[in-house]
Structure 1
Amino acid sequence: MVDVMRWDVMLGSVVYAVIGVVVLCVSFVVIDKFTPYELWEEIVEHKNMALAIVVAGMFIAIGQIIAAAIHG
């Protein structure tokens, strides 16, 4: 019988996904510390759409870097 689900591959994918999300969150916190204001407060409470677009671009760029590092 052919084993369709390889549990080692699935576990590796889950581990890399968790590591990627953690690195993405840590990078947001680090960039938040370098800015002169609180990013989350500025985006959520003050509804700063331009800053939200910049942060979204940052997430996409860092996500691509993480994916390239994981993929090799």
Structure 2
Amino acid sequence: MNTMAIVQSVVTSLVFSGIGLVMFLLAFKVFQWLSPFSIRKEIEEDQNTALGILMGSVMLGLAIIIAAAIHG
């Protein structure tokens, strides 16, 4: 494997990682905008386990979708 192929693979990985992080941030912001309460307060201060599990499930689902899109 030559150097250009390695550099291209690293750049591609960084670009897809950035896209994934932006998608996670957008999903969190949309979920926060749609909910009638503060998600951050519920999880951090009130220790709402059910909401934490729900947010984790949303993020895992989004990760699976992004991985499938990258893989083709």
Q: Report the TM range for the smaller structure's normalisation.
A: 0.7 to 0.9
Residues matched between the structures, number: 71
Q: Structure 2: 5+ residue runs without aligned partners?
A: none
**TM superposition outliers: structure 1 runs of 4+ over 6 Å:** none
> Normalising by structure 2, what TM-score?
0.88
Which structure dedicates a bigger proportion of its chain to helix? 2
Q: Structure 1: 5+ residue runs without aligned partners?
A: none
If asked which structure has higher relative contact order (CA below 8 Å, sep 6+), I would say 1
Residue by residue, what CA displacement relative to the aligned partner does 1:6-59 show, whole Å, maximum 9, x if unpaired? Answer: 101110111101110111111111011101111111101111011101111111
RMSD of Structure 2 on Structure 1 (CA): 1.5
> Normalising by structure 1, what TM-score?
0.88
- 2: CA distance, partners of 1:55 / 1:38: 13
